[in-house]
Structure 1
Amino acid sequence: MIKTIIFDFGDVFINLDKEGAIETTKATLNLQEFPEEMLSVNCLYEQGLISTEEFKDFYFQNFKNISEETLKDTWNYILKDFPEHKLDFLKQLAKDGNYLLILLSNTNELHIDWVKENISVFEDFKKQFDKFYLSHEIQLRKPDTEIYEFVLRENNLKPEECLFVDDLKENTDAAKSLGIHVWNIDPKTEDVCTLFATHKHLF
């Protein structure tokens, strides 16, 4: 019996353009592939282990011709719109009060700053949750099992009573390994609003 629903943010609620972001970044930085060091810096930034200034300094040092504005625009290219019907679904879920609602997102300060500026419903969205965990604020990131253990421990949850919804299989696989029920949602063909229709066996 599910008592807690843990949601990812990107491609569950807010739409992302991952493919476009990859192509835009490669074109802007004149890269064929992303260097390991760059991927490592991005991960450290998501975990809040380096500051926004340190993150930007890495790019300025390694890509001499990039301006701060171009860097921000390229980094935030992935972020798109927030469909209103998904907020309506979440509000009804919160209003019904049948489940503890938790957000668990890999993100970073620049992304969240963009969301606050460009997604007018963000604060309304945020207040629907009982707990709101962002990777850079808790210094943990998916798919490391520590992040799920943290959420379980902080909220005194039993894994078998939790459902975790995320679009990345590596993230749901990690949660599943701890006994958490999962929905590895496909944002191209599935919508979080069908949760109870498609997973009624859990409820």
Structure 2
Amino acid sequence: MIKTIIFDFGNVFINLDIEAAHKHALETFQIESLSEEMLGFNSFYEQGLISTDEFLEFYSENFPKLPKEELIDVWNFMLKDFPENRLAFLKTLKQSSKYKLILLSNTNALHINYIKEQLTFYEEFKKCFDSFYLSHEINLIKPNQDIFEFVLNENKLKAAECLFIDDNQDNINTANTLKIKTWHINPETEDVINLFETKKNLF
């Protein structure tokens, strides 16, 4: 029996366009691909291991012609809309009190600040969760196993009683190794609001 639902944020609640953002970054930076160093800094930033100032300074040194405002725009380019029917679904789920609700997201301060500015109901959204974990705040990142173990331990959860919803296959794979039930959601064809129809075998 599922007692806890663990949700990803991007492409579960807020829509992302990762492919377009990657293309936009390459065009803006006038490069063929992101270097290993850039990917490393991106990961450090999402784990909260470097500050926003340090992150932007790295990109400013590598692309001195670009103002910081444009670097921030490139970084936030992937963030799109948050359909309000998903908030309504979440609020109904919260009001039912049937499940413990947890958010577990790989994200960073710039993305969250942008979302708070754009999303009038961010605090309302956040209050729907019993626990709200952002990678840069807990210094852990998916798909590493330790982030899942952290969530299980912090909330005294049994893996087999948890459902984890994420659009990233690597994250799903790690959850599966811990015997957490999963839904590898396809943002192109599926919507979290249809959870109980799509995964009715679990409930």
TM-score normalised to the size of structure 1? Answer: 0.99
AA partner of residue 139 (structure 1):
N
In the alignment, structure 1 segments of 5+ residues that lack a partner are none
2:122 corresponds to 1:122: yes
Instruction: Spell out, residue by residue over 1:30-54, the C-alpha distance to the aligned partner (whole angstroms, 9 max, x if none).
Output: 1111100000000000000000011
Instruction: Tell me the distance in 2 between the aligned counterparts of 1:30 and 1:166.
Output: 32
Pairs within 5 Å for 1:7-156 = 7-156=7-156
Give the match's secondary structure for 2:57: helix
Instruction: Tell me the distance in 2 between the aligned counterparts of 1:166 and 1:59.
Output: 29
Instruction: Tell me the distance in 1 between the aligned counterparts of 2:200 and 2:24.
Output: 40
Instruction: Tell me the distance in 2 between the aligned counterparts of 1:119 and 1:15.
Output: 13
Aligned residue in 2 for 1:174: 174
Instruction: Tell me the distance in 1 between the aligned counterparts of 2:84 and 2:61.
Output: 40
Instruction: Tell me the distance in 1 between the aligned counterparts of 2:62 and 2:110.
Output: 19
TM-score normalised to the size of structure 2? Answer: 0.99
Give the match's secondary structure for 1:101: strand
AA partner of residue 92 (structure 2):
Q
Instruction: Tell me the distance in 2 between the aligned counterparts of 1:66 and 1:176.
Output: 42
AA partner of residue 47 (structure 1):
Q
Taking only the aligned residue pairs, the percentage that are identical comes to 57
Instruction: Tell me the distance in 1 between the aligned counterparts of 2:152 and 2:176.
Output: 13
* TM-fit CA distance, 1:119: 1.0
Instruction: Tell me the distance in 2 between the aligned counterparts of 1:124 and 1:83.
Output: 14
* TM-fit CA distance, 1:19: 1.1
Pairs within 5 Å for 1:152-167 = 152-167=152-167
In the alignment, structure 2 segments of 5+ residues that lack a partner are none
Instruction: Tell me the distance in 2 between the aligned counterparts of 1:14 and 1:120.
Output: 13
AA partner of residue 147 (structure 2):
I
Instruction: Tell me the distance in 2 between the aligned counterparts of 1:93 and 1:134.
Output: 21
* TM-fit CA distance, 1:64: 1.4
Give the match's secondary structure for 1:189: coil
Give the match's secondary structure for 1:143: coil
* TM-fit CA distance, 1:66: 1.1
Instruction: Tell me the distance in 2 between the aligned counterparts of 1:73 and 1:8.
Output: 23
Instruction: Spell out, residue by residue over 1:78-135, the C-alpha distance to the aligned partner (whole angstroms, 9 max, x if none).
Output: 0011101100000000000000000000000000000000011111100000000000
Instruction: Tell me the distance in 2 between the aligned counterparts of 1:29 and 1:168.
Output: 26
Instruction: Tell me the distance in 2 between the aligned counterparts of 1:48 and 1:116.
Output: 18
AA partner of residue 201 (structure 1):
N
Aligned residue in 2 for 1:192: 192
Deviating runs (4+, > 2 A) in structure 1?
A: none
